Amino acid sequence: MKIRTTLFSVVAAGLMAVMLPGVSSRAEGAVAAKDSVIAEGVYIGDIDVSGMTENEAKEAVDQYVEEIEQGEIEVEANGESASVTMAELGLYWANREAAEEAVTLGKTGNIIRRYKDLTALEHENHVYDIEVALDEDKVSDFVEEEITAFDQEVVEPDLERSGGKFHITEGASGILVNAAATEAAIQEAVENAESYRNMKVEAVCEVTEPEHDASELEMVQDVLGSYTTTYNAGNVGRTQSLELSTRRLNGVLIYPGETISVSTLMGERSEAGGYASAEGYEGTRTVDMVGAGICQTATTLYCASLYSELDVVERRNHTKIVNYVPYSMDATIYAGADYRNPNTDLKLRNGFDYPVYIEASASGGRCSFTIYGYDENPGREVEFIPTTLEETYPTEVTYVEDPSQPVGYSVKTQSAYPRVVATLTKVVTQNGVEVERTVLHTDKYKMAQEEWVIGTAGQPADGTQPADGTQPADGSQPADGTQSADGSQPAETQPADGSQPTETQPAQTQPAEGTQQ
């Protein structure tokens, strides 16, 4: 049996040698594959590489890739489109090893493997696919710079009041490009393309619907509450800040359950933000500060909110009394380092089942707020009654000596303010009958003494007064005589000229004993 097997193997080997002329042994079949040419009937893509060396085959395919690099891809998103050449996206031949495989086809492996490969070529061409791909970084840059520019942010329906009428603007869906998914779609389209001419790819987008519907706004028709305060338009800096802050609150829409921060809506209190400098409260003193005047805006809105019965989430009274609303009806704001996270704010919440709209205006010395919504109970009316529990005036005057000014010089630097305790009571009537009476809060305002700066230059060292009599011997009265001879305080609590200091609330201006609604 062993002899027969050996004889059969020899015969078979001889046969193979006859069928494969020039291939006499395994060693001979493995020689210098890279230096030989590609067998007949071998293609790379549509390119016939028969008889080519490996380098020649690569050059032929590279030339083909250079041609398709000029093809364009059009990417569409949200009704817009942008085109780019495949060269700009870094197209490259991804499977360059196909040229090496083409050269070795029929020349490597055992004798049976080579025989089968060459025999197959006699009946059918052998085709290696051309695999192309794009540079990932260049595709990413293209999508980020060109395609995401077609993003459409979701637009909520809007309400505007002009000419005494409301005008509703429909909302729109948000359409945002998914950059990563779109990049993958472009790569896939190129890798699987049958033709590289006029290629089109649809960007992968995510659609977001508006949270609200325009039909909700149709309910906003009725006046829920309004309030007006007056101001001195001749105080330029204060007026600029008051009117700017009022404009920024005009047209604010509050949906059911939403809370607004008045400080945030007013924006950054800086000259760059449009605000000006004027006198405002810092503790019990009056000093220059940027944004002074916004508290009158906040106060006017607060009063309108009371009458419209919005929920008052946060509100504080001033440290000292103000003269544009009764005691206990004011509201102060102080931003501190960040107007979006203020130390003191006015926050209002819409507790109704329908939206409310804020209309605001300030000009000609009148600041007005009107809040619109849906009056579901026309027979209900509210009234607010401020009650003063204590009002105590200062009995002393503070004098600050200034040695740089001559004796006889006197300037009032701070006005007198009383200590006040006051409450605010809400009274509700239904069809003319009282159904509710509630004390909302008790506010406390600090006392501030009148302050004068007096000159002392030239005053004798022993402290006696000069002979000209410009300063009373007891030092109790400035030269202008605004203080009564017995040292008592004038009845008025505001500055003698009738002007009102403006106020933005500093961090430590709220009395420790003050209450907050």
Average pLDDT over residues 13-34: 41
What pLDDT, on the 0 to 100 scale, is given for residue 284? 74
The model's pTM is 0.68
- Its domain, for residue 375, covers 219-457
The H or E element spanning position 18 is helix 2-19
Is residue 487's pLDDT more than 80? no
**Which residue in the block uniquely carries the two structure tokens 């305002």?**
445
Q: Give the span between the Cα atoms of 13 and 110, in whole angstroms.
A: 12
pLDDT tens-digit readout, 139-150: 999 999 999 999
**Structural domain includes residue 257:** yes
Range scoring the smallest mean pLDDT among 55-69, 167-181, 292-306, 457-471: 457-471
How many separate domains does the chain show? 1
Average pLDDT over residues 208-221: 94
Question: Beta partners for 358?
Answer: 371
Is residue 55's pLDDT more than 90? yes
**Start-to-end CA span in the chain (Å):** 111
Note whether 286 and 278 are within 8 A (CB).
Answer: no
Is residue 474's pLDDT more than 60? no
Range scoring the smallest mean pLDDT among 154-168, 176-190, 268-282, 316-330: 268-282
Greater confidence (468 vs 216) lies with 216
**Structural domain includes residue 64:** no
Is residue 261's pLDDT more than 90? yes
What pLDDT, on the 0 to 100 scale, is given for residue 292? 87
pLDDT tens-digit readout, 280-328: 887 777 778 888 899 999 999 999 999 999 999 999 999 999 999 999 9
Average pLDDT over residues 159-185: 95
Instruction: Encode burial over 385-404: b for 16+ CB neighbours within 10 A, e otherwise.
Output: eeeeeeeebbeebebeebee
**Structural domain includes residue 473:** no
Is residue 461's pLDDT more than 60? no
DSSP, collapsed to helix, strand or coil, labels residue 282 as strand
What pLDDT, on the 0 to 100 scale, is given for residue 21? 42
Q: Could you give the C-alpha distances from 161 to 167, 249, 471, in angstroms and in order?
A: 6, 13, 61
Q: Give the span between the Cα atoms of 42 and 98, in whole angstroms.
A: 11
Is residue 131's pLDDT more than 50? yes
Average pLDDT over residues 210-234: 96
